[in-house]
Structure 1
Amino acid sequence: MRELSEAEIKSKAEAYCSAVERCPSEVEEKIRKWGASEEVTAQIMAHLHRERYLDAARFCRFYVRDKYRFNQWGRMKIAQMLRMKGLSDGDIQTGLEEIDAEEYDGILKKLLKQKMKSIKAANDYERSMKLIRFAMGRGFTLEEIRRYVNQLDPDEDFD
């Protein structure tokens, strides 16, 4: 496999970033994989930031919106995944502020209601603990979960 020139790597990186919103650390890793030196990687990354191909805060906003709407993740799991991608706490916080509280609460309620249908429990306490464990695994906080778990009635819908 032939080595790519700096211009070719820059062009590939621009195309890569244009396709979908990317995390800066993923792009940097990809550029290195294409054979760029540390110096060239730094230059290309600076170019991508300068030309707005990359924007960590923008990435966080899109990531947060997608993960809570489509994957139905809670704030904790989203923040943890963003930290693992090497993003700053400020960018993560900016992204989390994009969450629509009503929609987020609706997602949690729906998840709990669906899960309740499949839970086998001897009593209300056991059912509550299973629901809490499930929702915490999805990244919701105990406070958020408790707000709704106590309202659930296995035999009827709730608001």
Structure 2
Amino acid sequence: MTYSEDKKTKEISYSSALSKMQFICSRQEKCCSDIRKKLENWNLSYDDQDKIIQSLIDDKFIDENRYTGFYVRDKYKFNKWGRIKISHHLKQKQIPESTIMEAFDSISEEIYEENLEDILSSKMRSTREEDPYKLKAKLYRFAQSRGFESNLILRNIEKILHKDE
């Protein structure tokens, strides 16, 4: 048996799983889907998984609103991601749309656009494209890959290209 096979079939008791999850959640924000994946790897029954997750929620180890708020602020501030990319990643973690929208309300629209302008300006300085149409296309694709909205991207590309004039 290989190490990875051994790791996948690891079994653990209910009480041990609960205490490990409490420790993990006390050290770092987690959402229910992250915890569920971990518990599934430990081959716990679905009933035990549900009980552990409910216990973690009841004891405030897991709070989806708190998790989403931290996730949005971190990805926006440190990774320079836009709303689309952040939202997509949170939806993959089965976070409700209403919770995601509530977390986005904590981001200032002005700072959000300044962030986009900064990453576009930085990309423009590092790009050696002479053709203005190809430059715009590169900048657009770059900002889109970071998860920013099309209308904001186009407006900010125009803004930074006309700054020098």
TM-score normalised by the chain length of structure 2: 0.87
**CA deviation after TM superposition for structure 1 residue 107, in Å:** 1.2
Take 2:11 and 2:119, find their aligned partners in 1: how far apart are those partners?
A: 50
Picking from 12, 17, 20, the partner of 2:28 is 20
Residue 90, structure 1, aligned to residue 98, structure 2: yes
CA contact (8 A) 1:116 1:154 kept: no
The residue type paired with residue 136 of structure 1 is: Q
5+ residue gaps, structure 2: 1-5
Structure 2 match to 1:114: 122
Structure 2 match to 1:72: 80
Structure 2 match to 1:103: 111
Summarize the Cα distance change of 1:147–1:154 in structure 2 as closer, same or farther, 3 Å threshold.
Answer: closer
Summarize the Cα distance change of 1:3–1:76 in structure 2 as closer, same or farther, 3 Å threshold.
Answer: closer
Take 2:103 and 2:142, find their aligned partners in 1: how far apart are those partners?
A: 24
**CA deviation after TM superposition for structure 1 residue 37, in Å:** 1.0
The residue type paired with residue 36 of structure 2 is: E
Structure 2 match to 1:11: 19
CA contact (8 A) 2:85 2:146 kept: yes
The residue type paired with residue 133 of structure 1 is: R
Structure 1 match to 2:44: 36
Structure 2 match to 1:50: 58
Provide Cα deviations, 1:84-109, integer angstroms capped at 9, x if missing partner. 11111111111222212222222111
Take 1:101 and 1:155, find their aligned partners in 2: how far apart are those partners?
A: 21
Take 2:132 and 2:11, find their aligned partners in 1: how far apart are those partners?
A: 64
Instruction: Name whichever of 133-142 and 116-125 sits farther off.
Output: 116-125
The residue type paired with residue 123 of structure 1 is: D
Take 1:101 and 1:49, find their aligned partners in 2: how far apart are those partners?
A: 32
Take 1:84 and 1:50, find their aligned partners in 2: how far apart are those partners?
A: 24
Taking every aligned residue pair, what percent have the same amino acid on both sides? 33
Structure 2 match to 1:60: 68
Provide Cα deviations, 1:120-150, integer angstroms capped at 9, x if missing partner. 3343222112111110111001111122111
5+ residue gaps, structure 1: none
How many residues end up aligned between the 2 structures? 157
Give the CA RMSD over aligned residues.
2.0
